[in-house]
Amino acid sequence: MIKTNHLVIGSGVAGLTFAVKMAEKFPERNIVIVTKGNEDESNTKYAQGGVAVVLDEEEDSFQKHIQDTLIAGDGLCDASVVETVIKEGPKRLKELIVWGANFDLDATGNFDLGKEGGHSEYRVVHHKDITGFEVERALLSRVHQLKNITLLAHHFAIDLITEHHLSENTSKNINCYGAYVLNEKTGEIITIQAAQTLLAAGGIGSVYGHTTNPVIATGDGVAMAYRAKSKIEDMEFIQFHPTALYNPEGGNLFLISEAVRGFGAYLRNKKGVRFMPKYDDRAELASRDIVSQSIDAELKKSGDACVYLDCTHLNLSEFKKHFPNIYQKCLDQHIDITKDWIPVVPASHYLCGGIVVDKNGKTSISNLFACGECSRTGLHGANRLASNSLLEALVYAHQIFKYQSENLPKLTAHIIPEWNDKGAEIPKEYVLVKHNLKQLQALMRDYVGIVRSNDRLEKAIKHLDLIYTEVEELYKKSKVDTALCELRNMINVAHLIIGQSLERKENKGGYYNLDNL
């Protein structure tokens, strides 16, 4: 049993930013971060485009960024949240810089600003095309300097501890008391009792086979919160990024940043026709939902497997300076962007919904907070504006820190039972986990993709029920491990996406159902 003031689940931008702030302000309080896999593995690490932020109010304005966010969110953003996040952005970015993150400057010494879909101005601060790598590096380095943070890598949070686990259950409210955590190296399950718990467990991309996310994005935070009966909303709004590098085998796909289109690249179909102008006046720089839906329409019409991103007309020496990683990655795949078009497809990229939180990052469960991609703050509405995600995590980590600083929690005297897996065995048929994962991903890709229909969603529910039953049976009798827990979590997340899709009767942003036309 570990006891701590603050338990943080996840070591991406959201969890690390909160931990650094808390540890710096309160050196006497201890913070435990648990994270599965290596400490830096996260969606954050792969962020390319950058952080959208208004730094010069003469060239740009908060109002324009607010307006762009509201338009992208298609009427479903919470306007007051949008205003807070955008106006707080510059301060939070400056803190990140103080902690050591470097962002590119132009020849005049000002930030070199990029542009992405849906933005009316150049306002995306970036570190070449590996912004997330730099942010993660800087935050981890700060974390390692702070003595009151314990970072436990290869520690997988299985479930939140709530009233449900206590032998004496006297409270009518649901409270969170910490989490059960699996040491992935030893197989031991430890109980971490915490006065306050922060879920910062990231995205869900792996629920779809084709994704820009790394394999760790299995929706564990959302699933844990859901099982603990926290409020979860807007799960139907899965954002598909228009330009993942095409790979016939699918899987985790390399992203070709939207900033490449911001730099002037064109989308063409196989015949060479630049098709975006016919779908939207903003052409390649329409918001992501529109570009992905347009590509989907083109592919359905032509029967082709991918469309193409044409960079050949651009200033290629500048391109290589801005996008060295993308340039190299394409070369590794024998695509020379100076002559070749890049084959691209839309892929699942970002969860706009998630665990419902208020302005202080509080969930509907007492002492449980959520931050970053697993949370639903109201910023994104039906579709997130590009590069607003790192921004949201930075601002909400601060909001949560501020709230907790003013409401410093104490550990309760509850007796928390240890994890009970008496009678559980190491599963003999691991093929079941692999098989069901493949089935789940195929189901989500084929029935719950960019364009949905009630018929396909109903079919998806039926198939999912079969997978759910088989996996729950296995879970009940098994000694748990990461792969099995992740699969179980992805099934919960799929259930939420399909169920909430069926509830939405109007197409908005990233949600497009043929029966709602």
Interacting residues with ligand FAD (CB under 6 A): 9-15, 34-37, 41-44, 46-50, 131-132, 156-157, 200-203, 212-213, 216, 220-221, 255, 350, 372-373, 387-390, 393
Cβ neighbors of 515 (< 8 A, separation 6 or more) are 453, 454, 455
Q: Does 48 bind ligand SIN (CB under 6 A)?
A: yes
Cβ count near 121 (within 10 Å): 16
Cα 134 from Cα 338, distance rounded (Å): 27
Per CB under 6 A, the segment of 29-37, 134-142, 163-171, 254-262 that binds ligand SIN is 254-262
92 is catalytic: no
Residue 386: CB minimum distance to ligand SIN, A: 4
Cβ neighbors of 64 (< 8 A, separation 6 or more) are 54, 120, 121
Q: Which stretches of 361-481 are DSSP H helices?
A: 389-406, 431-447, 454-477
Nearer to ligand FAD, 196 or 513 (CB): 196
Q: Which does 13 bind (CB under 5 to 8 A by kind): ligand SIN, ligand FAD, none?
A: ligand FAD
Residue 356: CB minimum distance to ligand SIN, A: 22
Q: Using CB under 6 A as the criterion, what x/- string covers residues 359-388 for binding ligand SIN?
A: ---------------------------xx-
Q: Is residue 250 left, alpha or beta, with left meaning phi > 0 and alpha meaning psi from -120 to 50?
A: left
Per CB under 6 A, the segment of 257-265, 356-364, 411-419, 484-492 that binds ligand SIN is 257-265
Per CB under 6 A, the segment of 60-68, 178-186, 256-264, 483-491 that binds ligand SIN is 256-264
Residue 92: CB minimum distance to ligand FAD, A: 12
Nearer to ligand SIN, 181 or 385 (CB): 385
Sign of the dihedral defined by the CA atoms of residues 288, 291, 294, 295, in that order: negative
Sign of the dihedral defined by the CA atoms of residues 148, 160, 187, 483, in that order: negative
Per CB under 6 A, the segment of 17-25, 76-84, 251-259, 394-402 that binds ligand SIN is 251-259
- Quick one: which of 259, 370, 400, 496 contacts ligand SIN (CB under 6 A)? 259
Q: Which does 258 bind (CB under 5 to 8 A by kind): ligand SIN, ligand FAD, none?
A: ligand SIN
Nearer to ligand SIN, 218 or 387 (CB): 387
Residue 337: CB minimum distance to ligand SIN, A: 16
Residue 259: CB minimum distance to ligand SIN, A: 5
Q: Does 257 bind ligand SIN (CB under 6 A)?
A: yes
Q: Which does 11 bind (CB under 5 to 8 A by kind): ligand FAD, ligand SIN, none?
A: ligand FAD
**Nearest Cα residue to 363 out of 227, 193, 266:** 227
The residue written with tokens 């779809």 in the block is 208
47 residue type, one letter: A
Nearer to ligand FAD, 35 or 501 (CB): 35
How large is the C-alpha radius of gyration of the chain?
A: 22
Nearer to ligand FAD, 467 or 490 (CB): 490
Catalytic, out of 92, 123, 288, 384: 288
H-helix or E-strand spanning residue 238: strand 238-245
Cα 374 from Cα 222, distance rounded (Å): 6
Burial status of residue 67 (CB atoms within 10 A of its CB: 0-12, 13-18, 19 or more): middle
Residue 85: CB minimum distance to ligand SIN, A: 14
Q: Which does 203 bind (CB under 5 to 8 A by kind): ligand SIN, ligand FAD, none?
A: ligand FAD
Q: Coil, helix or strand for 9?
A: strand
Q: Taking the chain, what is the end-to-end CA distance rounded to the nearest angstrom? A: 54
Tokens of 336: 């020379």
DSSP 324-390: HHHHHHHHHTT--TTTSPEEEEEEEEEES-EEE--TT-B-SSBTEEE-GGGEE-SSSTTSPPTT-HH
- Quick one: which of 17, 191, 389, 501 contacts ligand SIN (CB under 6 A)? 389
Q: Which does 36 bind (CB under 5 to 8 A by kind): ligand FAD, ligand SIN, none?
A: ligand FAD
Q: Which does 393 bind (CB under 5 to 8 A by kind): ligand FAD, ligand SIN, none?
A: ligand FAD
**Nearest Cα residue to 246 out of 276, 210, 277, 218:** 210
Residues that bind ligand SIN (CB under 6 A): 48-49, 257-259, 350, 386-387, 389
Please identify every residue annotated as catalytic: 288
